Amino acid sequence: MSTGTDNIIVFDKVNKWYGNSFHVLRDIDLQVRRGERIVICGPSGSGKSTLIRCINRLEEHQEGRLIVDGTELTDDVKAIDRIRKDVGMVFQQFNLFPHLTVLENLTLSPMYVGKVPKKEAEERAMTQLKRVRIAEQAEKYPLQLSGGQQQRVAIARALCLTPKIMLFDEPTSALDPEMIKEVLDVMVELANQGITMICVTHEMGFAKAVADRVIFMDQGQIVEQNTPHEFFNNPKTDRSKDFLSKILGH
């Protein structure tokens, strides 16, 4: 594993429990290089989402060290604020703000967090909306859009902060089958532009196309990590073989 300043995210023996009994992350060690594209997969309840939600502190880890872009995540609220500006996140359920128009969803953070003047924030928002090919819906409300369109808006919203890292938490799992492609296309484009990406997904086609590394998790542990080619053609553990046979079985 490479070390040094090239790593934008470093997990060092990170542990987390839900309540007193459920050990959700167990001794996670993980380094993510700047610009690296990682796909995390694994059965449900394996801790994938929890892992990436620790990176922008939507979840707190209890033991170990987690360093994002040179800043260690602790209770320091200012550090958390700084990291959140550099980390964009896309959720399974889109989580757009239904009372605001698409444009307002995008300009909110640049205006109130980034202190960008309204006009500039709107220009920036329109650029991102064009990037996800949905500029013509800017004045609509989220609930007036299809699932695929909403998720693309959510991606654009995360991009408006010009983040260094993008986290995707099962971005296509809540979508109708025919809408998955339009979202994946946007993600592939994004992946080709050099941003650091960590994506929890079961879209193995996407993993093969863009991932530098696939991480397989089970029971709160990283079981196996490898290049997509190696992982899919030559899985090393029985657990990952079993998992792959289930999701690629037909």
Partner 1 sequence: MAETIIFQSKPARPAPNRTEGLLPWIKLNLFGTWQSALSTVIIGALLVLYVPQFLNWAIFTSTTSTNADACRAAGVGACWGAVVEKYRLIIFGRYPFEEQWRPLVATLIMLTMLVVSCIRYFWSKWLVLGWTVTLAAYFILMYGSLFGYLDVFGLSKVTTDRWGGLPLTIMLSTLSIMLAFPLAVVVALGRRSHLPAIRSLCTVYVELIRGVPLISVLFMASFMFPLFMPQGVTIDTLLRVLVGITLFAAAYMAEVVRGGLQSLPKGQTEAAASIGLSYWQTQRKIILPQALATVIPGIMNNFISIFKDTSLVTIVSLYELTGSHGLAFNSDADWRPFKLEGYLFIVAIYFVFCFAMSRYSLWIEAQVNKSKLR
Q: Residue 208 CB, nearest distance to partner 1 (Å)?
A: 28
Query: Is residue 93 within the footprint of partner 1 (CB under 8 A)?
Result: yes
Query: Is residue 195 within the footprint of partner 1 (CB under 8 A)?
Result: no
CB-CB neighbours of 249 under 10 Å: 6
Q: Candidates 7, 49, 50, 56: give the one binding partner 1 (CB under 8 A).
A: 56
Query: Is residue 232 within the footprint of partner 1 (CB under 8 A)?
Result: no
Query: Is residue 233 within the footprint of partner 1 (CB under 8 A)?
Result: no
How many residues bind partner 1 (CB under 8 A)? The answer is 29
What's the rounded Cα separation, in Å, for the pair 62 and 18?
10
What are the distances in angstroms from CA 106 to CA 56, 124, 175, 223? 19, 9, 21, 37
Report 115-154 residues binding partner 1 (CB under 8 A): 141, 143-144
What's the rounded Cα separation, in Å, for the pair 74 and 59?
11
Q: Kindly state the tokens that stand for 244.
A: 């792959």
Q: Kindly state the tokens that stand for 164.
A: 């260094």
Report 101-120 residues binding partner 1 (CB under 8 A): 101, 108-109, 112-113
Nearer to partner 1 by C-beta: 100 or 244? Answer: 100
Q: Candidates 18, 70, 72, 98: give the one binding partner 1 (CB under 8 A).
A: 98
Q: Residue 136 CB, nearest distance to partner 1 (Å)?
A: 17
What's the rounded Cα separation, in Å, for the pair 112 and 43?
38
User: Of the ranges 32-40, 95-103, 183-191, 215-223, which one interacts with partner 1 (CB under 8 A)?
Assistant: 95-103
Nearer to partner 1 by C-beta: 175 or 222? Answer: 175
Is 70 within 8 Å of 4 (Cβ atoms)? no
- b/e for 56-93, b at 16 or more Cβ within 10 A? bbebebeebebbbbeeebeeeeeebeebbbbbbbbbbe
Residues near partner 1, by CB under 8 A: 56-58, 81, 84-85, 87-89, 91, 93, 95-101, 108-109, 112-113, 141, 143-144, 157-158, 160-161
